[in-house]
Amino acid sequence: MKRPSHRPERVGELVRQTVAEFLTGDVRDPRIGFVTVTGVEVSPDLSHARVRVSVMGTEDERAKSLEGLASASRYLRAQLAKGLTLRITPELHFELDRGLEHAQRIDRVLKELKEDAG
């Protein structure tokens, strides 16, 4: 029986760190607003990484931030290649994580219900 590899998780953590460092310092694209990396999933063959991000702002600002991240993905991939000793550097795919937004909406509804009941 083959042991499950922890390599995708380790590579995912390195991807998360690299993207987070980029977002806190190297961003020059005005489209990229206040973005937080919420998670990274790397495929078992390490060729693709889904980077989930939370973006503050309107729906239009979120779309522009995702466009900016998509255009920065080649630069970020090159930065990863410098830090990783892999044959293949994962291709980065950014997607919006609406989990935090959903949690805030649920919290607001619960507070409203509590106020109505009390």
Full domain range(s) for residue 106: 7-117
Residue 1 placed within a domain: no
First to last CA, the chain: 58
Q: How many domains does the chain have?
A: 1
Tell me whether residue 20 is in a domain: yes
- Bridge partners, residue 37, by sequence: 53
Structural domain contains residue 94: yes
The DSSP string of the chain is -PPPP-HHHHHHHHHHHHHHHIIIII---TT--SEEEEEEEE-TTSSEEEEEEEE-S-HHHHHHHHHHHHHHHHHHHHHHHHH---SSPPEEEEEE--HHHHHHHHHHHHHHHHHHH-
Task: Indicate whether 95 belongs to any domain.
Answer: yes
pLDDT at 118: 64
Q: Is residue 2 part of a domain?
A: no
CATH code, domain with 43: 3.30.300.20
Question: Is residue 22 one of the residues assigned to a domain?
Answer: yes
Q: What is the pLDDT of residues 79-111, one digit of tens each?
A: 888 877 778 899 999 999 887 777 888 888 999
> 52: which strand partners?
39, 95
Q: Binning pLDDT at 50, 70 and 90, where does residue 1 land?
A: low
Full-model pTM: 0.79
